[in-house]
Structure 1
Amino acid sequence: MVDATDPHAQADFWAAALGYTVEDHGAFVERLLAAGRAPAEATVEVRGRRAWRDLAAVRHPDDPYEEATGTGRGRRLLFQRVPEAKTTKNRLHLDVHAGPERDRAAEVARLEGLGASVLREVDEPGGRWTVMADPEGNEFCVH
């Protein structure tokens, strides 16, 4: 789970960054609302569908998911709204690898286009990488 000021924006960024799918919990949320098991104020409309106001998730598109809820059962990141902004070092740090189809500079440029920013370039005897921040300031590295 990743703390976020805007979990839906973070889910959109990380889905695009990693090639993941934003989970669609719309049908599940609608069922809970209709049954009176969830309050309407716990939801928002995102991309024309009901979603949890304070939670959003992304999952790897090849992994299984629960059709009744839209919840991924494999590689998944969950973003949870918290009232405070990030103020210190990440407790979780992701490394993104450019892969064989693009070089690191191209991957960095692509991620900048999605809203990430470059914090610094690292060139050490053990390797080279770029330290970046996602739109909410969470650091990650591109190798």
Structure 2
Amino acid sequence: MAVKFKICIDCADPHRLADFWAGAMGYEVEDHSALIATLLENGVVTEDLTVDVHGRKGWRTAAAVRDPDAPFDPHSGVGKGMRLLFQTVPEPKTVKNRLHLDLHYGPDAYEAEADRLESLGATRLGAYDEDGAKWILMADPEGNEFCCHG
């Protein structure tokens, strides 16, 4: 049986990165407000663990994005397909990522997509053309590297 997984990304501002990656990938930011309301009502969590995000309650130290075409739990907001989870950590990023995402937009679209990603807050780090493969190395708003492929 295949193992289900999500990719977790350490960060300083999980909601900023969730917004960025949702825009970069055509994903949806998960809405955990119904789950949070239930947990608050039952005294399982306290208000200090939440924050207002786009007019609804979110977790102070975590946010996630999900594949909009995959099933999800309507009460928890958690996707049952591909997800990225952003979690707050105290230390800043200091070295190159050991794992990164490759976003494949296609040979006719990747340069325009890199421009769009810059408008969302990404930074271009370099452009490459090796062995017939073309890509642009980029960093998200917190400096996490990823590749925009042709």
TM-score grouping bracket, smaller chain normalisation: over 0.9
Alignment counterpart, residue 78 of structure 2, candidates 71, 76, 98: 71
Shift of 1:123: 1.9
Equivalent positions of 1:19-38 (< 5 A) are: 19-38=26-45
User: Aligned residue for 2:140?
Assistant: 134
The residue that corresponds to 1:43 in the other structure is 50
Quote the offset at 1:91 in angstroms. Answer: 2.9
Alignment of 1:31-110 (within 5 A): 31-99=38-106, 102-110=108-116
Counterpart pick for 1:3 among 2, 6, 10: 10
Supply the distance in 2 between the matched residues of 1:110 and 1:98 (Cα, whole angstroms). Answer: 12
Tell me the C-alpha RMSD between the 2 structures.
1.2
Deviation at 1:42, TM superposition (A): 0.6
> Following TM superposition, by how much is the alpha carbon of 1:94 offset from its aligned partner in structure 2, in angstroms?
0.3
Secondary structure, counterpart of 1:65 in structure 2: coil
Identity of aligned residues (%): 57
Structure-1-length-normalised TM-score: 0.95
Distance of 2:80 and 2:90 partners within structure 1? 28
Separation in 2, partners of 1:98, 1:74:
20
Partner of 2:119, secondary structure, is helix
- In the superposition, the TM-score normalised over structure 2's length comes to 0.91
- SS where residue 118 of structure 2 aligns? helix
Name structure 2 gaps, 5 residues minimum. 1-7
Q: How far apart are 1:103 and its partner, in Å? A: 1.7
CA distance in 2, matches of 1:123, 1:112: 20
Letter in 1 for 2:117: L
Instruction: Give me the whole-angstrom Cα distance separating, in 2, the residues matched to 1:120 and 1:82.
Output: 28
Provide runs of 4+ in structure 1 moved above 3 Å. Answer: none
Rounded Cα–Cα distance in structure 2 between residues aligned with 1:55 and 1:48: 16
Aligned length: 142
60-69 vs 10-19, greater mean Cα deviation: 60-69
Q: CA deviation at 1:116?
A: 0.3
Q: Using the TM superposition, give the Cα deviation of residue 109 of structure 1 relative to its aligned residue in structure 2, in angstroms.
A: 0.4
Aligned-partner residue type, residue 128 of structure 2: V
Local SS of the residue matching 1:71 = coil
